[in-house]
Amino acid sequence: MSELKIYNSLHRQKEVFTSLYPGHVGMYVCGPTVSGESHLGHARPYITFDVVYRYLQFLGYKVRYVRNITDAGHFEEEGREAEDKIAKRAQLEKLEPMELVQKYTNLFHWAFLRFNCLEPSIEPTATGHIVEQIEMIKTIMEKGYAYESNGSVYFDVKKYAESHDYGILSGRVLEDMLESSNRELDGQEEKINNVDFALWKNAPPEHIMRWPSPWGEGFPGWHIECSAMSSKYLGKQFDIHGGGMDLQFPHHECEIAQSEIAHGELMARYWMHNNMITINGRKMGKAYNNTIKLTELFTGNHHLLEKAYSPMTIRFFILQTHYRSTLDFSNEALQAAEKGLQRLWSAFEVLQKLSYAANGQPINEELDKQVRQWCLECEEFISDDFNTAKVLANLFELSPVINSIKGGQVKMHELSEETFQLLQKTWQNFLIDILGLQPETLTNDNSKLDGVIQLLMEMRKEAKARKDYAASDKIRNQLLAVGIQLKDEKDGSMTYSIQ
């Protein structure tokens, strides 16, 4: 077996992976902020770390995979006030915050089940761990690295940097950050230094989500929740911390700082970050008005889409590029991925039906050696920082050989029985078990279900329009009885989630 090497963002190099406890791996991945629907950009980290999770298990490790749900505390400091994404969206949709959270958590789970992502071992929520976050903040304050100001608590970055390397992960230089900070523009008068980050925020009277604390009613900062939850379920130090490259700073940098003070050691030994998905070279994000929701990808209902794309096509599209490289969206790229996946799946189905039969004639030594090499390289590539792109490239090299055996251009006896068994094992191990691909027929069934639900939603709209509320309620209630929840949006549209 090849040694597993992981690119460690902390040291900016590939390193041989050794787990903290032999045979066991603790992995924490920053989960979604459930203030809205997941989009294509969100698909990349969770598909990436699904492959990491699958391969570690394939290697025989017992993996505890923790992926959180951010249902409180993810606020953006803009001007004088901190804006909580959950609270803001709940007010816009006229929902209770936890109602909003449940709606988008269900939608997240539904989408990633269609991507064939394995469920994490533990999926903690920020709101379920307020006590742990408060206790961690108290410890940091007792050690002198945080201070209270007007009912809020801030981490003292400047003091931390006197004896620790703030910027160890992101490469940021504190002096440069201090020089570029502008107190007048930022408006954060209650901070000692503008680079200080909130561990706890005082809740103004109109703020919906609030909890009692030693500093008054408030809500946790975004960074503290991951440190509190990861240490609870994985210990003060664990093996792998993952997330998107956009989380390196400030989120992961702040996690490192507060955890090191609270626990006295670096929280994770290997830091992994996937790169971004771009559209025409620009990062996908709400600020650019170029996000494509996952439900829009599945239905084709977006102005940037020429057609609907199945979850497996999207998964394949993402895995065709190494996770640390940028991935640019285009209809052409997705349609090429669709054809490529069909080609590989067709070869796999042919291979499953073949059985070895030798007729005593000599094998083709050159072909046998080449097939063996392509198979063995798959293990080498996946062990080299999870290079799914190279694995898929080798499967594409092998698919014509499989089709040629079926067509008779290559005789079965030209491969040794050992090589043929290796070929079958390689395709099962990599295409199915590690890359997590599955037949399009399964996702096509989901597409048919989606079409039926869309039809029923249209019928319900028509019933409401003619004020036939009995028929409208009947459609809603019968769908709910089989686990499909309809939601009337304030703009008159209708969405659904599978419970």
| Per-residue confidence (pLDDT) for residue 74, from 0 to 100 | 67
| Per-residue confidence (pLDDT) for residue 499, from 0 to 100 | 53
| Per-residue confidence (pLDDT) for residue 448, from 0 to 100 | 60
Interatomic CA distance for residues 275 and 461, integer angstroms? 41
| Per-residue confidence (pLDDT) for residue 149, from 0 to 100 | 96
pTM of this prediction? 0.87
Interatomic CA distance for residues 315 and 44, integer angstroms? 8
Interatomic CA distance for residues 212 and 423, integer angstroms? 60
Q: Which residues of the chain have pLDDT under 50?
A: 78-81, 183-187, 442-444
Q: Which two tokens stand for residue 212?
A: 């009692």
Query: Yes or no: is domain 288-440 CATH 1.10.510?
Result: no
| Per-residue confidence (pLDDT) for residue 81, from 0 to 100 | 45
Interatomic CA distance for residues 98 and 90, integer angstroms? 9
| Per-residue confidence (pLDDT) for residue 472, from 0 to 100 | 85
| Per-residue confidence (pLDDT) for residue 479, from 0 to 100 | 82
Using the Cα atoms of residue 344, residue 350, residue 356 and residue 359 in order, give the sign of their dihedral: negative
What crossing angle do the helices spanning 311-319 and 440-465 adopt, rounded to 10°? 130
Interatomic CA distance for residues 196 and 226, integer angstroms? 18
Residue ranges per domain, the chain?
5-274, 288-440, 444-498
DSSP alpha helix (H) spans, 33-96: 40-58, 85-93
| Per-residue confidence (pLDDT) for residue 207, from 0 to 100 | 82
Interatomic CA distance for residues 326 and 75, integer angstroms? 27
Tell me: the pLDDT tens digits for 336-388? 999 999 999 999 999 999 999 887 789 999 999 999 999 999 999 999 999 99
| Per-residue confidence (pLDDT) for residue 80, from 0 to 100 | 38
* 3.40.50.1970, 3.40.50.620, 3.40.50.150, 1.10.1060.10: CATH of 5-274: 3.40.50.620
331-346: b or e for each residue (b if 16 or more CB lie within 10 Å)? eeebeebbebbeebbe
Cα dist from 206 to 83, 85, 126, 140, 260, whole Å: 12, 14, 21, 29, 34
Cα dist from 39 to 34, 51, 100, 459, whole Å: 12, 19, 17, 27
